[in-house]
């Protein structure tokens, strides 16, 4: 009997899972989705996107919550025009600076780790995180256990 192994099954499932995740994300973000039907590209409106679970049952969770858990959260900040202009006069990239402010405060309060801040901001090294935190007068979370590990190393 020729049975597929677990790796082969996982590889076979990957495209189906990716397509399911794409449908879930498009629906949750209320974005239309392009698909192939009868030899041509067709746009499917978000309300018409069908999302199914692995067992082919209907999506049991709120699709927005499911997408947020899997893909993260999209945050939109509405700024009055005068405030947006004032920030734009002082900051070269208002969205980036806003994201940095969230990351720095999340680290300061313990909501995010140094590694999470690095990943969130797309920084290459932990030293870039350290520089950002230093610029915002946020001390590193460095315990005595960290010091002992460093001394052993």
User: Quick one: 13 and 60 in the same domain?
Assistant: yes
* pLDDT tens for each residue of 84-132: 999 999 999 999 999 999 999 999 999 999 999 999 999 999 899 999 9
| pLDDT tens, residue by residue, 22-69 | 788 777 777 888 888 888 888 888 888 887 765 444 445 555 555 555
CB-CB neighbours of 78 under 10 Å: 5
141 in Cβ contact with 116 (< 8 Å): no
Please tell me the total count of domains within the chain: 2
pLDDT attached to residue 20: 80
> Is 50 inside a domain boundary?
yes
pTM for the full predicted model: 0.52
111 or 17: whose pLDDT is higher?
A: 111
Residue 148 maps to a domain: yes
Q: How far apart are CA 8 and CA 34, in angstroms?
A: 28
pLDDT score at 87:
94
Does residue 76 lie in a domain region? no
Tokens of 28: 């949750």
**Domain carrying residue 112:** 81-152
- C-alpha 148/C-alpha 55 separation (Å) is 49
Same domain? 60 vs 35: yes
* Domain stops at, among 71, 92, 107: 71
Cα–Cα distance for residue pair 135/8, rounded to 1 Å: 49
């Amino acid at each position: 009997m020729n049975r597929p192994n677990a790796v082969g099954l996982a590889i076979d499932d990957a495209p189906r899972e990716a397509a399911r995740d794409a449908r879930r994300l498009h629906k949750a973000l209320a974005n239309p989705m392009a698909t192939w039907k009868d030899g041509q590209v067709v746009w499917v409106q978000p309300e018409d996107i069908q999302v199914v679970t692995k067992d082919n049952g209907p999506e049991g969770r709120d699709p927005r919550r499911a997408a947020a858990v899997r893909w993260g959260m999209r945050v939109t900040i509405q700024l009055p025009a005068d405030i947006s202009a004032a920030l734009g006069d002082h900051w070269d990239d208002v969205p980036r600076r806003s994201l940095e402010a969230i990351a720095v405060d999340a680290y300061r309060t313990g909501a995010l780790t140094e590694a999470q801040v690095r990943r969130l901001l797309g920084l290459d090294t932990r030293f870039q995180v350290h520089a950002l935190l230093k610029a915002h007068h946020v001390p590193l979370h460095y315990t005595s256990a960290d010091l002992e590990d460093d001394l052993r190393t």
